[in-house]
Structure 1
Amino acid sequence: MPYLKLRDGAQLFYKDWGNPNGEIVTFSHGWPLSSDNWETQMFFLAEQGYRVIAHDRRGHGRSTQTWDGNNINSFTNDLQELFEHLDIRNAVMVGHSHGGGEVTRFLGKHGTSRVKKAVLIGAVPPLMLKTAENAEGTDKSVFDSFRQAMHKDRAQFFLDVPSGPFFGFNRPGVQKSEGQIRHWWQQGMNTSFKTAYDCIRDFSETDFTEDLKKIDIPVLVLHGDDDQVVPIEAAGRKAAKLLPKGELKVYPGGSHAIHNINVDEVNKDLLDFIRS
């Protein structure tokens, strides 16, 4: 399995699938998951002739479980090292949830010289936390309850999240996938406790507003209007307006995990946008 040794000695796991000479699409995963959460999109695009690359952020999946550095600036510096190591150019970046924040900060901090387009799916930007200026955000007490649940019983909490709001399995009439729940749990439990805990603050309190304003490439924003984790009014709709070249597509009734639930539609939207 391929690993990149980072500046501090940490090992970053990554997947590099498909046509080695094809156009590159990179994937950044959400909390508290790993690159495995993108497997259906990666397989689909690899079959279309693309080179698809996804990494496990430090502390997640198969990457080194570092005690420090569990924050968006460290994550994006790691990703920049991976881009340089693999000489990634003219790429399309795709990010979900916290990974959408990673893509946004990466482009805001490191620029767009290596990237031609980006896709944000159920992404956290511009800001999840409710403040005086961000009335549509989520109250801090919700994120405090996440931390309390981790302290009490992380394993159960990591069953409750995918069994309910993450995939929208708590909605009436929705068919629940036990496989999706177990897969989420497995990924989450492979992430270090410290990283998962630190990232609750990182994804909820990081303000990406200025990053969004700097991104000068086309960005497709995909968001479900029944996203119970990252509500569309606080995220997708605002992000699309802040992006100079942003385009919003709303998935009616869509959950936080539209790429896992609305697989065919998301895959088609990705392919159409990449080809456009």
Structure 2
Amino acid sequence: MTKGGKYVELSGGAELYVRDIGQGEPLVFIPGWTFTLEVFEKQIGHFAKTHRVIAIDPRSHGQSTVTAEGNEYITHAKDLQTVLQALEVHEPTLIGWSFGCLTIWEYVRQFGADSIKSCILVDMSPKALSVNEGDWTEGSLYDIAAAYTNYLCNSKGQRAFVENYARNVMVQRDLNEDELQWLIEQSLNTPYYIAANLFAAGMFSDYRKEARQVSEAVPTLAIVAEHWQDAAKGTLAHISPDVKVEVLGGHLMFWEHDKVFNAIIEEFLKG
């Protein structure tokens, strides 16, 4: 178990693996679809010098228990609440990446925003699918259906999907073989049939109301990738006009451009 690693028990006997390191105001990191807290390694080490940093492997991700139930964001939000209570975390800044943002918005839906100090949302639209031209989406309805049908039906397809996404969306440079394999292995900790369920749950979610609610309640920062910044800015200006927006890199900008990303977070936290 790495430094600060521990398990938090959930109802039903499942356990979530978390890192809990450093002292000070708490920052809680939540990874995206099928990925693990290890993607935040450059943030955990940096911010643990000045803050208490908690990073979570969601259920069926990483070192957490693989469960047959609860593999959707309603349960993930309840799991987050369990972690915060078990570790006695008060007034955290919640930092979600990709589908980790869905966990935050669902948390706000269930528990409100009164217990949150601030919120950082990394590269996720509150509504992933739309037929309205110009909306910030994860892709066309055709492309998303094809991804689900053609790739997420077995482990080989999941591997191919993550490889393609890593090469073309996550980063802005060529990945070496070790980096690519590490990213793929991150995802394959989650079985393909659970990955497919999480994918569908995320794609069919609609958190526009909660996105507005949290941005009106607490200071909120959205960091979006360069490749869809125009759509993202337009969507966020309509849905949650109070949110502060920064643009950086690709979908995995905090990993590829960690120094710039960390500086953006530091500046936001000062405010």
Q: Give the aligned length.
A: 261
Match of 2:46 in 1: 44
Deviation at 1:260, TM superposition (A): 1.1
Q: Please state whether the residue corresponding to 2:48 is helix, strand or coil.
A: helix
- Judged with a 3 Å threshold, the aligned counterparts in structure 2 of structure 1 residues 110 and 177 are, in CA distance, closer, same or farther, namely farther
Structure 2 residues without counterparts, runs of 5 or longer: none
Q: How does 1:124-273 map to 2 (within 5 A)?
A: 125-132=125-132, 135-137=135-137, 138-147=139-148, 148-151=150-153, 153=156, 154-168=158-172, 174-215=173-214, 216-226=217-227, 231-235=228-232, 237-239=234-236, 241-243=238-240, 245-251=242-248, 254-273=249-268
Which stretch of structure 1 is more off in the superposition, 186-195 or 239-248?
Answer: 239-248
- Determine the C-alpha separation between the residues in 2 that align with 1:7 and 1:101: 21
| Residues 47-67 of structure 1: CA deviation (Å, up to 9, x unaligned) | 2x2110011111111111111
- Determine the C-alpha separation between the residues in 1 that align with 2:167 and 2:141: 22
Deviation at 1:113, TM superposition (A): 2.6
Q: Please state whether the residue corresponding to 2:153 is helix, strand or coil.
A: helix
Deviation at 1:232, TM superposition (A): 3.7
* TM-score, scaled to structure 1: 0.87
- Determine the C-alpha separation between the residues in 2 that align with 1:232 and 1:205: 22
- Judged with a 3 Å threshold, the aligned counterparts in structure 2 of structure 1 residues 132 and 156 are, in CA distance, closer, same or farther, namely closer
- Determine the C-alpha separation between the residues in 1 that align with 2:128 and 2:41: 26
* RMSD, aligned CA: 2.0
Deviation at 1:146, TM superposition (A): 2.0
Matched, 1:70 2:71: yes
Of the three residues 30, 33, 45, the one matched with 1:31 is 33
Match of 1:171 in 2: none
* TM-score, scaled to structure 2: 0.89
- Determine the C-alpha separation between the residues in 1 that align with 2:191 and 2:238: 35
Contact 1:126 1:238 (8 Å CA) reproduced: no
- Determine the C-alpha separation between the residues in 2 that align with 1:196 and 1:161: 14
| Residues 19-77 of structure 1: CA deviation (Å, up to 9, x unaligned) | 2xx11000010112011111111111012x21100111111111111112111111001
Deviation at 1:163, TM superposition (A): 2.5
- Determine the C-alpha separation between the residues in 2 that align with 1:240 and 1:178: 39
Structure 1 residues without counterparts, runs of 5 or longer: 169-173
- Determine the C-alpha separation between the residues in 1 that align with 2:22 and 2:114: 23
- Determine the C-alpha separation between the residues in 1 that align with 2:105 and 2:212: 10
Deviation at 1:92, TM superposition (A): 0.8
- Determine the C-alpha separation between the residues in 2 that align with 1:245 and 1:88: 26
Q: Please state whether the residue corresponding to 2:117 is helix, strand or coil.
A: strand
Matched-pair identity in %: 23
- Determine the C-alpha separation between the residues in 1 that align with 2:135 and 2:268: 32
- Determine the C-alpha separation between the residues in 1 that align with 2:58 and 2:237: 25
Match of 1:18 in 2: 22
Matched, 1:6 2:3: no
AA aligned to 1:10 is: A
Which stretch of structure 1 is more off in the superposition, 133-142 or 190-199?
Answer: 133-142
